[in-house]
Amino acid sequence: MPPSGLRVGVAFGGRSVEHDVSIVTGLQALGVLEERHSPVPIYIARSGRWYTGETLRELSVYQQDSGDPDAEEIHFDLHNGRLLRAATGGSLLRSRRSPEPMELDVLVLATHGTQGEDGCLQGALELARLPYVGPAVGAAAAAMDKVTTKAILAQAGLPALDHLASRREQWERDRASVCASVRERFPFPLYVKPASLGSSVGVSRCCTDPELADALELGFELDRVCLVEPAVEDGSEVNCAVIGRPGAEPRASVCEQPVAAESFLSFHDKYMGGGKGEGMKGAQRLIPAPIGEQLTEQVQDLAARAFTAFGCAGVTRVDFLIDAQERVYVNELNTIPGSFSFYLWEPAGLPFVDLMDELIDLALADHREQLRTTTVFATNLLALRAAGSKAGEKA
Ligand SMILES: Nc1ncnc2c1ncn2[C@@H]1O[C@H](COP(=O)(O)OP(=O)(O)O)[C@@H](O)[C@H]1O
Ligand SMILES: [Mg+2]
């Protein structure tokens, strides 16, 4: 367990289609961290600007159309590895007093999707050497990209659906040939997905050639790479969360079976199911998933192996598709799952407040490990080059 009373920055929002969902996760995390620590909201607005302040704990702040909230702006001081609060509010340039450093022990990232879950934010924090909860850049980026995900799963011998990926340039050059290659490879029904989005945004099920063309058109508006894969019909979806960090034995949660209103889980099913915009907490689901002991164990084992194969850290939710013959396929990994999947840990005897402590503990341990890595490699290369060029000048 980490010491109590830590200053924990909770980052949420971000330039992502999952911005609003992230606000819900962020506010949940702030609420639960309050019990043992001093959480600090760090809101990344759609504009890309960062803000802090107590007003950010209120959901109403985000419901105004006026753009950025009325809160203190934060600036990233990369050189010194810290965040700075513009002391008088407003922008740093307008501020008369000098900016104050924000003393943070660790950051909890509640950012879903683009730039928050895909390694971008993690990269900025690495440059600043700030410890944060969740996987490092490589694992975050790999899990966010559905094509890279397929490659890593295949390499690790983990089951995934076959797929065909193509680029926007190919599509714009010759739409008919992209559709023809898909049709040669797979029968309908098919799924088209943008490679690096989430929350079902741009995901389409298609049963006819015009539907396929429309789905790809939409997919390529949203992403530069799309993939097509066969649909799993009359099957089910099962998710399992895993907690751990590289070099430690991962632990799998109980499994859930999300319940979709239609043939696949839409954004609405995932986040609006409870009708209160509660994030994944409000979605309809069965816990534990009613799939029997043997399938449950298989899913938990595959989830833990996928977590390890990607080098994940923190809590990752691994999503599966199970077909009518009970064949199990890993669908995707969500490295910052909605609500940190706390509802999958609670039935296993890990309350949300303890889950947060374990995540912080893992983050601090991983950060210490990272700092042990040598980044200095002394050579006489430059001296030799300088001597060489002097000799050259003389000759
Ligand atoms: N091959 C498939 N067969 C059946 N349903 C699928 C398939 N791929 C995706 N889905 C449905 O679409 C939803 C969204 O797809 P997913 O791959 O999870 O993308 P996202 O990253 O947007 O969550 C899934 O939750 C599932 O309901
Ligand atoms: Mg999904």
User: What digits encode the pLDDT tens for the residues 291-317?
Assistant: 999 999 999 999 999 999 999 999 999
Residue 276 has pLDDT above 70, yes or no: no
pLDDT recorded at residue 1: 67
pLDDT computed for residue 89 by the predictor: 47
Whether pLDDT at 278 is above 90: no
> How far is residue 251's CA from residue 154's CA, in Å, rounded to a whole number?
22
Q: How do residues 244-266 score in pLDDT, each as one tens digit? A: 999 999 999 999 999 875 556 66
CA of 351 to the centre of ligand 1 (A): 29
Per-residue burial over 353-374, b = 16 or more CB atoms within 10 Å of its CB, e = otherwise: ebbbbbbbbbbbbbbeeeeeee
**pTM (predicted TM-score):** 0.91
What integer pLDDT is reported at residue 144 of this predicted model? 96
Residue 277 has pLDDT above 50, yes or no: no
Atom 2 of ligand 1, nearest CA residue? 231
Q: b or e along 39-65 (b: 16 or more beta carbons within 10 Å of the residue's beta carbon)? A: bbbbbbbeeebbbbbeebeeeebbeee
Distances (CA, A) of 1 to 4, 22, 247, 332, 356: 9, 26, 18, 30, 10
* Cβ atoms within 10 Å of 80's Cβ, excluding its own: 10
Query: Using CA of residue 366, residue 368, residue 372, residue 373, what is the dihedral sign?
Result: positive
Largest Cα span, the chain:
82
Dihedral angle, C-alpha 131, 132, 137, 143, nearest 10 °: 160
Q: Is the dihedral of CA 269, 342, 71, 99 positive or negative?
A: negative
Give the residue, by CA position, lying nearest to ligand 1 atom 21: 198
Percentage of residues in the chain having pLDDT higher than 90: 72
88 contacts: CB under 8 Å, gap ≥ 6 = 94, 95, 96, 97
Closest atom of ligand 1 relative to the 263 alpha carbon: 27
135 within 8 A of 311, measured Cβ to Cβ: yes
Give 220-232 pLDDT, tens digit per residue: 999 999 999 999 9
Q: Pick the closest to residue 10 from 29, 24, 38 (CA basis).
A: 29
**Which residue has better confidence, 198 or 355?**
355
227 Cβ inside 6 Å of ligand 1:
no
Contacts of 356 (CB under 8 A, 6+ apart): 29, 32, 33, 36, 108, 340
Query: In this model, does residue 148 exceed pLDDT 80?
Result: yes
Residue 315 CA, ligand 2 centroid: distance in Å: 16
CA distance 141 to 118: 4
149 alpha carbon, distance to own chain's centre:
13
Residue of 161, 196, 222, 264 best suited for mutating to test ligand 1, as the one with most atoms within 8 Å of CB: 264
State phi, psi for 366 to the nearest 5 degrees.
Answer: -70, -35
Least confident segment among 70-84, 136-150, 236-250, 255-269: 255-269
List of domains in the chain? 7-133 (3.40.50.20), 143-159+233-367 (3.30.470.20), 164-230 (3.30.1490.20)
DSSP string spanning 345-358? HGGGT--HHHHHHH
Task: Please determine, for residue 283, whether its predicted confidence score (pLDDT) is greater than 80.
Answer: no
Q: How far is the CA of 241 from the centre of ligand 1 (A)?
A: 17
Centroid of ligand 2 to alpha carbon of 101 (angstroms): 38
Is 117 near ligand 1, meaning CB less than 6 Å away?
A: no
Calculate mean pLDDT across residues 9-27.
94
3-state secondary structure 70-124: CCEEEEEECCCCEEEECCCCECCCCCCCCCEEECCCEEEECCCCCCCCCCHHHHH
Q: 167 pLDDT exceeds 70?
A: yes
Ligand 1 pocket, residue 203 CB under 6 Å: yes
Is the distance from CB of 12 to CB of 23 less than 8 angstroms?
Answer: yes
Helix axes of 175-185 and 209-222: crossing angle, nearest 10 degrees: 120
Q: Which ligand is nearest to the CA of 203?
A: 1
Residue 179, amino acid: C
| pLDDT tens for each residue of 30-49 | 999 999 999 999 999 999 99
pLDDT of residue 91: 53
Other Cβ atoms within 10 Å of 201 Cβ, number: 17
* Structure confidence at residue 304 (pLDDT): 98
End-to-end CA separation in angstroms for the chain: 66
